[in-house]
Amino acid sequence: MTYDYDLLVIGAGSGGLAASKRAASYGAKVAIAENDLVGGTCVIRGCIPKKLMVYASKFSHLFEDAVGYGWSKGENRLNWQHLITAVDKEVHRLNQLHIGLLEKAGVELIQSRATILDPHTVEVGGRKVTADKILIAVGGEAVKPNLPGMEYALTSREMFLLKEQPKHIVVVGSGYIAVEFSGIMHGLGSQVTLMLRGETMLRGFDDDIRSSIQDGMSKSGIKIIGNTLIKNLERVAEGLKLTFSEQGKETNSTITADAVLVAIGRAPNLGKLGLENTGVEIVSCGDDTLPALHGYTVNCAIGVDDESRTSVPNIFAVGDCTNRINLTPVAIGEGRAFADTEFGNNPRKFSHENVASAIFSQPEAATVGMSEAEARQKLGDAVQIYRSRFRPLFHSLTDGSDKVMMKLVVDKNTDRVLGAHMVGEYAAEIIQGVAIAVNMGATKKDFDATVGIHPSAAEEFVTMR
């Protein structure tokens, strides 16, 4: 049978862009459908604009620290409108850049919503097109709890488009998005209250990372309230009033702020995709406490095998919509592995082992490999921990109380380094290099035999005893 395209990709985010360009490089006829800006969550409302705001938020700390080095403290004032406009301008520049890269690669861009009609037919841009293979790369979307007044709450999508800076913002959530935006808004000068459902933040990360970040945020002036359960949100004369209960208290509490950011999680963006027309298997995301999204009655992801193939042989899926590891480089890696396998005569599988990640919190953190808890669950007493906490040299002349935490998780039987974790300035940059060693199977002796760069924080990874 003859098809209009060898490959039709739905979603022009990181995974879809990588797969479409790689497949086209092998001579495949490829089209990609997108009803939003090209670039996906990372470029439009995630990694890139968020990191730009992280940079902006750090200047307030630098102005304070500079006094310890002899600089006079001047009047510092943020022009919120300038920042938001500059970030939005960069997002649109990247959108145009990715459109140009698709054109250069020979990929047809269809700027419209796509709905799958059957395993080989898609309705897009007012027409029906056919494809030998379909790749779903629609990513995820922020969710809100199904509670009264949530229409007044912001999600991460709207944070980059606020016309005015809130004087006081309440952030609801304990994951990396909530933690990162709390640090951003605090650094930009807003009063920040972070509300956690449990006692601590960042479930799933190493406990030393969790406690170090939470302690650092508290000392910086961010108010953290743990063990809370949100009840409702309402607009009042003073702003937005959030009602919540606290564990151990019989009566509800309230807090009023200019803005409320709900960052309780994300779910695969599967609404209006037409999966019910295909027989593609849907699996649980693993957290049924979150609300439905886009018409789906439960949180769900597209089930795939280790080659990103769904239960329908010619339909594939990569990235956040599969809810494996929801990181931009992972989506890119999955997309390229798919294209190499299906169109490049180079069968391969993307490895989800030892994927490094970072939290651009303040203090910053990064990690690769096993946490201490994961290692002990697997190896028991055969785990050896090396840990160091210290005040960085930079703060020798400032009033800053920031501390660096570094940690290695080692298998005593083999001496292999199973995990590396860090909280502190430039943690992401440092762990990226350490991740190479961990993935190569480096031992603690290999770390010990490496000469450190002095004076640097990074040298602690090769001097810990």
Residues forming the active site = 454
- The Cα–Cα gap between 26 and 30 comes to 10
User: From residue 143, how far is each of 21, 226, 331 by CA, in Å?
Assistant: 31, 21, 21
432 three-state secondary structure: helix
| Token digits of residue 449 | 């035999």
Distances in Å between the Cα of 319 and the Cα atoms of 68, 187, 328, 439 are 46, 31, 8, 22
Give the whole-angstrom CA distance, residue 227 versus residue 245: 8
Other C-beta atoms within 10 Å of 25: how many?
Answer: 15
Closest to 204 measured CA to CA, from 128, 154, 295, 265: 265
Q: Which amino acid is at 240?
A: L
Task: State how far the alpha carbon of 284 is from the alpha carbons of 11, 263, 266, in Å.
Answer: 21, 20, 13
Helix (H) or strand (E) holding 377: helix 372-379
User: Alpha carbon of 463 to those of 336, 372, 414: distances in Å?
Assistant: 38, 20, 19
Provide the CA 54 distance to its chain's centre, in angstroms.
14
**C-alpha to C-alpha distance for 194 and 192, rounded to whole angstroms:** 6
